[in-house]
Amino acid sequence: MNEKDKLIYDAKAKVLKALAHPTRLWMAEQLSDGERCVCEFADAVDADFSTISKHLAVLKQAGIVEDDKRGKQVYYRLKVPCVLKFMSCVEAVIESQVKTQAVLIE
Amino acid sequence: MNEKDKLIYDAKAKVLKALAHPTRLWMAEQLSDGERCVCEFADAVDADFSTISKHLAVLKQAGIVEDDKRGKQVYYRLKVPCVLKFMSCVEAVIESQVKTQAVLIE
DNA sequence: TGAATATATGGCAAAATAACCAAATGTAAT
DNA sequence: ATTACATTTGGTTATTTTGCCATATATTCA
Question: What are the structural domains, with CATH classification, of chain A?
Answer: 3-80 (1.10.10.10)
CB-based contact, B49 to chain A, within 8 Å? no
Residue A19 is predicted with a pLDDT of 95
Q: Which stretches in chain B have pLDDT values below 70?
A: 104-106
Quick check: A93 and B87 CB within 8 A? no
Nucleotides of C under 7 A from a protein CB: 5-11, 17-23, 26-28
Element (H, E) at B65: strand B65-70
Pairing of β A65-70 and β B73-78: unpaired
A75 shares contact with chain B (CB less than 8 Å): no
Per-residue confidence (pLDDT) for residue B66, from 0 to 100: 95
Burial tier of B43 (Cβ tally within 10 Å: 0-12, 13-18, 19+): exposed
Task: Kindly give the interhelix angle for A22-31 and A3-19, rounded to the nearest 10 degrees.
Answer: 80
Q: A65-99 pLDDT, tens per residue?
A: 999 999 999 999 999 888 777 777 778 888 888 88
